[in-house]
Structure formats: C-alpha cells, structure tokens
C-alpha cells in the first residue's frame, strides 16, 4: 500500500512512524502548505515526493491512500477531494467540525466503496478493548451508571511546551482558527471511549462548557482565546443507564488520562489509559460484597494504523469508521446546543 500524508505537523510524525513499521506499506508522499515544514518532515522520514497543494499530489496520483493530518476545519474539503480521486482515507479526529459535514464525508466514502476510517487513538488501549469485551459478555450484568473523564494539564504545565507562545497549541484555543475547544479536541475521544467501552449509545445530553480567562483581553496575537477549556455532560444512554462525561485541559498532575468506570447490576469495570499506560480493574462476583477491586490481565491489540491497512487490503472498512465518527460528532453538536439553550438535547 502506497500512502500519502496530508499535513506534516506534530501528529503526522506518529502516522509516518506507525505506517512505515507495517510490512508492505510505503509512505511515498507528503503535502503541506508550509514548504519548510514539509521539507523537514520528508527528510526525517525518507519521503521522496513533496507537494505544497493537495491538487498537485492528486494530479501525480501515485498512491492508494491518504492519511489526513490537517487541522480540524480542513478535514472536510480535503477528504472529499481525496474520495473524489478514488483514494482510501485515514482521517485524524474529529472527522469534521460539525455533524452535517461529517455525515457528508461519510456518505461520500460509502458511495465510493473505498475505506474510510478515523484515528480515535485511544482505541489502541488494550484495557479498553478487553473491558468492552467483558461488558458485552455480561460480566457486570445490566449497566446502570457510567463515569468517564479525559484529563490533560497543558494549560497549567509546560510538559508539552509553552502554549502561550506556540501556534500548535494556540489554534486549539481559538474558534476562528477552527477549534471547538476541549469538547472538539479531547471531548470526541472521551465520548467515544465511554460509548465504545460501555457498549452503549448516548440518547440525551445536558452539557456545560467553560472558557477561562487566560490572557489580557482573551487574546494572544492573532488568536482569540474563546474556545472552551473544560466541559461536563450529564447523559442518558439508550437502554436506561445514565452517566457523566467530562474533560478539561486544566487538570494539574494529569498529563493525559482517560478513565471509564462502568457500573452494572452485578459488578463494575474500570478502564484507564494514562499517558501511554493501560490499566484494567474489576469488582465482580463475591468481591462486590467487600468492595474489592482486582487487576485484570489483557493482551496487546492491533492499532488503528494496522486495522486501516488490513481494511484497505481486504476492501472492507473496519471500526472506527467515518459513520462512527459522524455519530460521535452529533453528540458534540448537541452538547454545544445544550450549553447555549440550558436544556436537555435528544439524539434522534
């Protein structure tokens, strides 16, 4: 499989390294509107063909699939171009900045017969995959309550750099630069993590979003700091369970932690991804009477990168698909609407 990487910012390095490590995959081209960044990226990863526009890359055409690692608002137009050119697409999350655009992309890829998948990176957690299997196997009985959080701290710590001076962070805080804030950036991950891990779909959302005062006049240079920094959701799931989902970039002491607890009628399961490390615990059987939690072993799982390559070779999309990402985007759109209306929003 010959792969083109579209967008050569920070996350593109993960795409290049992971795809190149898969037998039979060649990263044959790179595209970026910033020539210096493009040249450095292609040199680092040994990529022979450089393009400053997607149009030029598509005119060349000597590739089978596109890894779309552009900023969020660019996903929609560039993915549609790639689909129209007959290419498979592996898109970074979110698929689009709203559900209407995401569904347009979903319908386009499904009509084309090509593979379209979205990089929900935390699906690569073996604790999540094993925990979901246990839930679906009925090991905790009927689900009653779900608790999920995604905690980061780069607004208070400099472990990933200084957000006040670096554009790769500042754009994430600015609506006019295409950001839906913490909701769009990490909210999409924790909503997927919670829904996938519990095996439940969200039916209703009641959300609160918060943007904190981070600079004089809420502005640094060209960046208006108006995108949300934290959110909370109360949700109802189809099937009767209720739960809470939250995320923030202000959780000092938490570099990148996703935690999901699923409470059932006969037991509970906790799935944690914390800055590269996965943990799985359960309280089952007689342990519910003593509130004893025990570690649960798990095996390594295939990555999204590996599943995408397998899907292209088989000609059949695997999860997480464009349609899954579009459905998650609907939940985020309802959360935004709920924050404005101060009312419960239904997913229909």
Query: Mind listing the pLDDT tens digit for each residue in 274-323?
Result: 999 999 999 999 999 999 999 999 999 999 999 999 999 999 999 999 99
pLDDT of residue 347: 93
Local structure of residue 93 (DSSP, 8 states): S
Strands 116-119 and 88-92: parallel
For tokens 């999920």, the residue is 148
Give the CA dihedral 216, 217, 222, 223, nearest 10 degrees. Answer: 90
pLDDT at position 178, please? 82
pLDDT at 120: 96
CA neighbours closer than 13 Å in the CB half-sphere of residue 44: 16
pLDDT in tens, 252-288: 999 999 999 999 999 999 999 999 999 999 999 999 9
Supply the DSSP string of 147-204, one letter for each residue.
EEEEEE-TTT--TT--TTT-HHHHGGG-GGGT--HHIIIIIHHHHHHHHHHHT--EEE
Q: Is 271 exposed, middle or buried (0-12, 13-18, 19+ CB in 10 A)?
A: buried
Whole-number pLDDT of residue 139 = 98
Residue 71: the pLDDT is 87
Q: Around Cβ 65, how many Cβ atoms within 10 Å?
A: 23
pTM of the model: 0.94
Residue ranges of the chain whose pLDDT lies below 70: none
Percent of the chain whose predicted confidence (pLDDT) is above 70: 100
pLDDT at 344: 94
pLDDT at position 149: 98
- Which pLDDT score, from 0 to 100, does residue 54 have? 98
- Residue 295 burial by Cβ neighbours in a 10 Å radius (0-12, 13-18, 19+): exposed
- Here the tokens at position 190 are 């924790």
Q: What is the pLDDT of residue 116?
A: 98
The span from the CA of 304 to the CA of 24, in Å, is: 16
Residues in the chain: 348
- The per-residue pLDDT for 153 is 98
β partners of residue 260: 148, 271
């Amino acid at each position: 499989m010959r792969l083109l990487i579209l967008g050569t910012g920070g996350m593109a390095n993960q795409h290049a390294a992971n795809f190149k490590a898969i037998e039979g995959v060649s990263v044959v081209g790179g595209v970026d509107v910033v020539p210096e960044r493009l040249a450095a990226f292609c040199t680092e990863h040994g990529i022979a063909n450089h393009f400053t526009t997607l149009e030029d890359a598509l005119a060349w055409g000597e590739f089978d699939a596109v890894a779309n690692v552009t900023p969020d608002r660019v996903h929609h137009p560039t993915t549609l171009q790639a689909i129209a050119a007959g290419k498979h697409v592996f898109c970074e999350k979110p698929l689009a900045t709203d559900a209407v655009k995401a569904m347009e992309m979903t319908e386009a890829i499904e009509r084309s017969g090509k593979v379209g998948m979205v990089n929900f990176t935390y699906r690569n957690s073996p604790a999540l995959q094993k925990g979901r299997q246990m839930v679906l196997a009925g090991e905790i009985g009927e689900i009653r309550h779900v608790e999920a959080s995604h905690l980061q701290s780069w607004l208070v710590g400099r472990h990933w750099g200084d957000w006040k001076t670096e554009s790769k962070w500042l754009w994430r805080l600015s609506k006019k630069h295409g950001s839906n804030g913490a909701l769009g950036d990490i909210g999409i991950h924790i909503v997927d993590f919670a829904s996938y891990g519990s095996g439940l779909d969200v039916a209703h959302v009641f959300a609160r979003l918060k943007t904190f005062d981070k600079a004089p006049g809420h502005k640094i240079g060209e960046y208006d700091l108006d995108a949300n920094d934290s959110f909370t959701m109360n949700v109802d799931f189809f099937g009767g369970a209720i739960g809470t989902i939250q995320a923030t970039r202000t959780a000092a002491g938490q570099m990148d932690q996703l935690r999901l607890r699923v409470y059932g009628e006969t037991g509970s399961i906790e799935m944690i991804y914390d800055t590269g490390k996965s943990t799985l615990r359960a309280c089952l059987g007689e342990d519910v009477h003593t509130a004893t939690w025990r570690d649960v072993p798990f095996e390594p799982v295939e990555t999204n990168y590996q599943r995408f390559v397998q899907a292209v070779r088989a000609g059949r999309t695997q999860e997480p698909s464009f349609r899954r990402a579009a459905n998650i985007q609907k939940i985020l759109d309802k959360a935004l609407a709920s924050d404005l209306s101060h009312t419960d929003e239904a997913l229909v």
